[in-house]
Amino acid sequence: MSVCLNQASDTEGTLPLLEQITLSEFVSQLIQLSDQDRDELQQHSAEECEAEHRQADLGMKVLWAEIKALSRSNERLNSEVQDLRLGLKRASDALEEHNSKLDECEPS
């Protein structure tokens, strides 16, 4: 079986030429074009994946830096809380000592 395909000629502005090819040749050309499209799509997908991985890596680095900063801030706040607890304990001890001295001064 033959199929007539109209193919435009780019040379010298001539009219399109008619070329006869078999159906199997036509199908073969379609398969070849399909394979080329698939390869291009796979390459494009691989490039997109690589770009997404780079973006994710960058995002992870930013998050890691934020985690480190938050960790340092948390350590600083914990240290301040410890200092406040120690100050409160000392004030409480001093108040208790003062109250016991007042109790000693009061006549019974």
In a domain, 62, yes or no: yes
**Structural domain containing residue 39:** 2-6+16-105
In a domain, 69, yes or no: yes
What integer pLDDT is reported at residue 67 of this predicted model? 97
Output the average pLDDT for the chain. Answer: 84
Low-confidence ranges of the chain (pLDDT < 50): 1-10, 15
In a domain, 84, yes or no: yes
Domains in the chain: how many in total?
A: 1
Alpha-carbon Rg of the chain, whole angstroms? Answer: 42
What integer pLDDT is reported at residue 31 of this predicted model? 87
3-state helix, strand, coil in the chain (%, to 5): 75, 10, 10
- Look up tokens 């706040």; give the residue: 77
In a domain, 80, yes or no: yes
pTM of the shown model: 0.47
- Which helix (H) or strand (E) covers residue 21, if one does? strand 17-22
